[in-house]
Structure 1
Amino acid sequence: MSPLKFCANVSWLFTELPDVSQRLRAAAAAGFQAVEAAWLYDCELRELQRARQAAGVDVVLINTPPGDLEAGDLGLGAVPGRGAEFRQGLDLAVTYAKALDCKRIHLMAGRLPVGSTRSAVAKEMEAIFVQNLKYAADLLSKEGITGLIEPINTRITDPRYFLDSPHQAAEILEKVGKPNLKLQMDVFHWQIMDGNLTQNILKYFPIIGHIQVAQVPGRNEPDSAGELNYKYLFQTLEEHSYQGYIGCEYKPRGSTKDGLGWIKDYWT
């Protein structure tokens, strides 16, 4: 069985440190060889490059820009009337990814327009998302970058997010039909929306390009009290020779360092 590879999500972990450069060093000091992040666009790119090199970690995943967070945006890939902004954001994400030698970009779908219902806009938003994903896939293929789409649960985390289940995501990927687009499996979201994790992992394993973990329902460390048996889930992934990264995207109950016993046990 192949050992699993973990990366620290520095948008969630080591937030005791205000500066991303400090978080990269802290992740390396804790034993991580790779990191991921949501948005790094407030950081000066040359400083990020220096910090990554100094820490000796790989950056393995970033997100496309969210749009205007204060106005309620959370990605633009499926949002009506925002295609030009999505492409501009994609260009910026590619610039950062290339500079950081990052080979995966999460192409965020975005939220339903305010005042709309899911049933009224679903077909339009899917068509827009498919079109934007085809454009993104062609652009990313030239750079050797994999695009990812991630379902986010609409029961607890974000009721208006467009892409909310692995089944919906798989259908969209099939319609797009591009080999360099994959499914990002956040176990937290999948459990809340659908459960049935073993069968869903096996069903979608061929198209999974990245995994993220947190306990349910608290979204804390994998070994915290909750619904999920991560020892079993990790063993399942090992048995199927999962080769991608597993992102630690959770809320530490205390300090990040104090909550890393679970991964140190795995590493040893």
Structure 2
Amino acid sequence: MHEENSRRDMIKKVATMALASTALSSLSERVAAHDKAVGEPLKGKINHSVCAWCYDIPLADLCVAAKKIGIPSIDLVDPKDFAILKKHDMITAMVASNGPEWGITRGFNNPAHHDKLETYFRHYIDETAKAGFSNLICFSGNRNGLSDEQGIENCTKGLQRIIGYAEKKKVTLVMELLNSKVDHHDYQCDHTAWGVALCKSVGSENFKLLYDIYHMQIMEGDVIRNIRDHHQYIAHYHTGGVPGRHEIDETQELYYPAIMKAIYETGFKGHVAQEFIPSRPNKLASLNNAIHICDIA
């Protein structure tokens, strides 16, 4: 009897190991299927960009690598570095604005900042327009005890001080949706509904949202439905794998081809920027894979 049980146990172990091996092999094959050669022509349904901060290499080198992959834009570039983009015939689909004084935690939801923010953003609007770019990032700031309603009211008052100037310069201010659960505790613009309500309150086509797929998956999920329902308020998208903000392949819970298809079907003409932090040694290979994952037919 003991020998019989041992034999059964051994058979179960072998079967389990075989199943695990098959699953790992299948996953490896599916991930490897995205290991496209650099320079392979893209299908053109998605306009691609990549966030500079995710890659610990000089901006000029990233421009060269991105062009080889087929990426025409580098996200979150400060005006002081626009000359590097121009030298490499690149654009920035989203201009950075979070300098040492202003950024994610200190933004338009605090009226005490409005005077300085007006001066600060007028300068950034000027620089963005002068370079021929169109999107400039901005942030709500942390709640610090504010209700959602008061935060919308305060942001509206601050943004309306500069939105007319942005309209005149043909620049769109784009507020990023971020998660307050894992990465940016207490950040106020942390749900699509709040951001949409702010867009309606500001009442200008030159104020929209940056829908960060990674952040919104953490906060609320239901990514595709939210994109379909609120696409008219979205000017830009960022990617990232959940959990961990790493590669967007099948090692994480989001299926990006379906998300890209939903974005494309809304008629979106802006850019989708890769903003995952590569976990593999060859970071540029991870970027190339991500672009082909999002390169829908």
Could you say which TM-score interval applies, normalised by the shorter chain?
0.7 to 0.9
Larger radius of gyration: 2
How many aligned residue pairs are there? 252
- Of 191-200 and 254-263, the range deviating more from structure 2: 254-263
- CA deviation after TM superposition for structure 1 residue 179, in Å: 1.7
Aligned to 1:58: 91
SS at match of 1:235: helix
Q: 1:8 aligns with which of 36, 46, 50?
A: 50
Mark the runs of 5 or more structure 1 residues left unpaired by the alignment. none
> What's the TM-score once normalised by structure 2's chain length?
0.77
- Of 252-261 and 208-217, the range deviating more from structure 2: 252-261
Instruction: Kindly indicate which of the two structures has a greater share of residues assigned to helix.
Output: 2
The aligned runs of 1:196-211 (5 Å cut-off) are 196-211=222-237
Q: 1:242 aligns with which of 268, 280, 293?
A: 268
- Shift in alpha-carbon separation, 1:198–1:106, aligned structure 2, 3 A: same
Q: 1:257 aligns with which of 268, 279, 284?
A: 284
- CA deviation after TM superposition for structure 1 residue 257, in Å: 0.9
Is 1:88 aligned to 2:88, yes or no?
A: no
Q: Cα deviations across residues 89-148 of structure 1 (Å, max 9, x unaligned)? A: 2023223313432200112111234xxx344xx444322200112223211111111111
- CA deviation after TM superposition for structure 1 residue 23, in Å: 2.9
User: Which whole-Å CA distance do the structure 2 matches of 1:98 and 1:161 have between them?
Assistant: 28
SS at match of 2:94: strand
User: Which whole-Å CA distance do the structure 2 matches of 1:11 and 1:33 have between them?
Assistant: 16
SS at match of 1:250: coil
- Shift in alpha-carbon separation, 1:78–1:66, aligned structure 2, 3 A: farther
Q: CA RMSD in A?
A: 2.3
Native 8 Å contact 1:49 1:99 kept in 2: no
Aligned to 1:33: 72
Mark the runs of 5 or more structure 2 residues left unpaired by the alignment. 1-42
The aligned runs of 1:98-247 (5 Å cut-off) are 98-113=129-144, 117-119=145-147, 122-247=148-273
User: Which whole-Å CA distance do the structure 2 matches of 1:264 and 1:124 have between them?
Assistant: 42
User: Which whole-Å CA distance do the structure 1 matches of 2:205 and 2:290 have between them?
Assistant: 34
- CA deviation after TM superposition for structure 1 residue 266, in Å: 5.1
- CA deviation after TM superposition for structure 1 residue 26, in Å: 3.2
Runs of 4+ that moved beyond 6 A: none
